[in-house]
Amino acid sequence: MVAQAVPPGAGSGAGLHQTDRQRAEVHDLLTIGDSKTPELEDETRYSVFDLGSDIFAVNARYGFMEDLDVRELLKDLRERDLLPYDVSRCTIQAAEEDIIIDAGAPWLTRARGLFFKYLSQLAIPTFRYFGLGGDTNVSVVLIPIQVTVEGVNVVRLFDNDLAI
């Protein structure tokens, strides 16, 4: 399952992936958004779409006063028969940035990059915000971000697409 949070004006994500012995792989796409109302009714909270090939898209909304818990959300979806399988054994993949600052970048760009890197180290990881702090099935993936003279770019590990 790939999960993505979309609060107003910002976005971050985590991925969930389940592997069963009977089933090769099942993937879900999960988008979590918030609302301007304090709490939402359960009838308007979820929408689930079967995209075929064991891929499901889930849109979930929460009120701004409600606590987010991805595991409870997935359990609730299963209990309502909106997801056709047990998601309690899925692995959640969360992304974090690894900021690499080029020594050749202008001093102001380096200072901004260092300041952002410092603030990122003080911030609470996104997956903890979604109630996954003590979850042993969370896998954190580092995404290298390079700050250079040309600007800020995601570091590509391969220049060419690999066909396997």
DSSP 125: P
Give the confidence band of 161 by pLDDT, cuts at 50, 70, 90.
Answer: low
Examine the pLDDT at 5 and tell me if it is beyond 70. no
Q: What is the pLDDT of residues 17-26, one digit of tens each?
A: 433 333 445 5
127 contacts 92 by C-beta, under 8 angstroms: yes
Average pLDDT across the chain, whole number: 75
Q: What is the pLDDT of residues 92-119, one digit of tens each?
A: 777 888 899 999 999 999 999 999 999 9
2 contacts 27 by C-beta, under 8 angstroms: yes
Q: pTM higher than 0.95 for the full model?
A: no
Phi-psi region of 81 (alpha: psi -120 to 50; beta: other; left: phi over 0): left
Examine the pLDDT at 11 and tell me if it is beyond 80. no
Which of 89-98, 111-120, 136-145, 146-155 has the highest mean predicted lDDT (pLDDT)?
111-120
Q: What is the pLDDT of residues 49-91, one digit of tens each?
A: 888 887 888 888 888 888 888 888 888 888 888 887 777 777 7
Mean pLDDT of 134-155: 84
**117-156 burial code (b ≥16 CB/10 A, e <16):** beeeeeeebbbebbebeeeeebeeeeeebbbbeeeeeeee
Of all residues in the chain, what percent carry a pLDDT higher than 70?
A: 77
Strands 91-101 and 46-52: unpaired
Structure confidence at residue 9 (pLDDT):
36
Structure confidence at residue 51 (pLDDT):
85
Mean pLDDT of 143-148: 89
